[in-house]
Amino acid sequence: MKIAFPTDEHFPFQDERARSIALNIVRDFNPDVLISGSDGVDFYALSKFSKNPKRISSFQEDINSWKEGQKEWKDAAPEATRVFLKGNHEDRLRKWLWDHPEAHSLEALKLSSLLDLEKLGISFSDDGESDWCDWEFTVGGTLVVRHGGVVRKASGMSARAELESERYSISILTGHTHRGGSIYARTRKGVVQAHECFCLCGLEPEYVRHPDWQQGIVLAEVHEGSLTVESIPFSNLRAIKHAIWRGKEYRS
Ligand SMILES: [Fe+2]
Ligand SMILES: [Fe+2]
């Protein structure tokens, strides 16, 4: 099974050039499973932090642009099963509804309705009521893919914390940190590994200066309990964003 995990697009703060590279790599990889969501929409309007007044009125536009983006992922991987994983940003909707219980029963405000997941052909495990950390995609006892809930200071440290949270019993792919980072450990059951899977959003958000974030994409292949993971960082070559994967250069 081949899995592609483009994570943390944060529409409307996505980086289209990073997405373009990721889309082209996914097109060549031809995955069986493509993960969607995982902080795909920022849900900026529902943030509890101070908001830029120019941005707050574009909630529907933000969702519409994410849906357009999903069509691009479908076009890049037409055969793939697309699986939605809720991130903490999509979980802002649940928190907002719990703060406004009078709106909670509205079908139109369920996460799957708001994002049109069925119409987009994206599968989801519930209607958004559970905590984002409970959303995961597993491949037997070999791999779990989830948005992740840990942010440690340095690259790879959050991956290690996620592995410790599973007591080194299964390999893990996570988003959330907006960084790449990998760790491997030999156990009595074999090698387990955990990977932070970069981000596809812009690298200069309005709430923090020059964060240590990296753009890229992670691909995984599981075959009879054996796991191979490829972490592909993107970099800037003067004004061009680029990546090298399996001997091919991708530019945007
Ligand atoms: Fe994120
Ligand atoms: Fe996150």
How do residues 74-123 score in pLDDT, each as one tens digit? Answer: 999 999 999 999 999 999 999 999 999 999 999 999 999 999 999 999 99
Tokens linked to 209: 């200066």
Position 127 pLDDT exceeds 80: no
Confidence (pLDDT) at 50: 81
Position 41 pLDDT exceeds 90: yes
Position 29 pLDDT exceeds 90: yes
Position 126 pLDDT exceeds 80: no
Cα–Cα distance measured from residue 24 to residue 73, given in angstroms and rounded to the nearest whole number: 10
- Rounded to the nearest angstrom, the distance between the alpha carbon of 52 and the centre of ligand 1 is 19
How do residues 191-234 score in pLDDT, each as one tens digit? Answer: 999 999 999 999 999 888 999 999 999 999 999 999 999 999 99
Confidence (pLDDT) at 134: 83
Cα–Cα distance measured from residue 158 to residue 182, given in angstroms and rounded to the nearest whole number: 9
Angle between helices 59-76 and 16-29 (to 10 degrees): 30
- Rounded to the nearest angstrom, the distance between the alpha carbon of 151 and the centre of ligand 2 is 9
- Rounded to the nearest angstrom, the distance between the alpha carbon of 188 and the centre of ligand 2 is 32
Confidence (pLDDT) at 145: 98
Position 25 pLDDT exceeds 90: yes
- Rounded to the nearest angstrom, the distance between the alpha carbon of 200 and the centre of ligand 1 is 9
**Exposed, middle or buried by CB within 10 Å (0-12, 13-18, 19+), for 203?**
middle
Confidence (pLDDT) at 53: 81
Share of the chain above pLDDT 70, in %: 99
* Banded model confidence at residue 9, pLDDT cuts 50, 70, 90: very high
Confidence (pLDDT) at 27: 98
- Rounded to the nearest angstrom, the distance between the alpha carbon of 236 and the centre of ligand 2 is 24
Tokens linked to 238: 């003067």
- Rounded to the nearest angstrom, the distance between the alpha carbon of 198 and the centre of ligand 2 is 11
Ligand nearest 87 Cα, by number?
A: 2
Confidence (pLDDT) at 130: 82
β-pair type (216-223, 2-5):
antiparallel
Average pLDDT of span 32-38 = 97
Confidence (pLDDT) at 49: 82
Confirm if 228 and 221 have CB atoms less than 8 A apart. Answer: yes
**Beta-carbon-side half-sphere exposure of residue 178 (alpha carbons within 13 Å):** 20
- Rounded to the nearest angstrom, the distance between the alpha carbon of 150 and the centre of ligand 1 is 11
Position 239 pLDDT exceeds 90: no
Share of the chain above pLDDT 90, in %: 88
Mean pLDDT for all residues in the chain: 95
Confirm if 147 and 175 have CB atoms less than 8 A apart. Answer: yes
- Rounded to the nearest angstrom, the distance between the alpha carbon of 87 and the centre of ligand 2 is 5
- Rounded to the nearest angstrom, the distance between the alpha carbon of 223 and the centre of ligand 1 is 29
Q: Write out the DSSP string of the chain.
A: -EEEE-----BTSB-HHHHHHHHHHHHHH--SEEEEESS-B--GGG-SS---TTTGGGHHHHHHHHHHHHHHHHHHSTTSEEEEE--TTTHHHHHHHHH-GGGTT-GGGSHHHHTTHHHHTEE-SSSS-S-GGG-EEEETTTEEEE------SSTTHHHHHHHHHTTTSSEEEE-SSSSEEEEEEEETTEEEEEEEE-B-B-S--TTSSS-S--BEEEEEEEETTEEEEEEEE-EEETTEEEEEETTEEEE-
- Rounded to the nearest angstrom, the distance between the alpha carbon of 9 and the centre of ligand 1 is 7
Cα–Cα distance measured from residue 99 to residue 142, given in angstroms and rounded to the nearest whole number: 38
- Rounded to the nearest angstrom, the distance between the alpha carbon of 120 and the centre of ligand 1 is 22
Confidence (pLDDT) at 57: 75
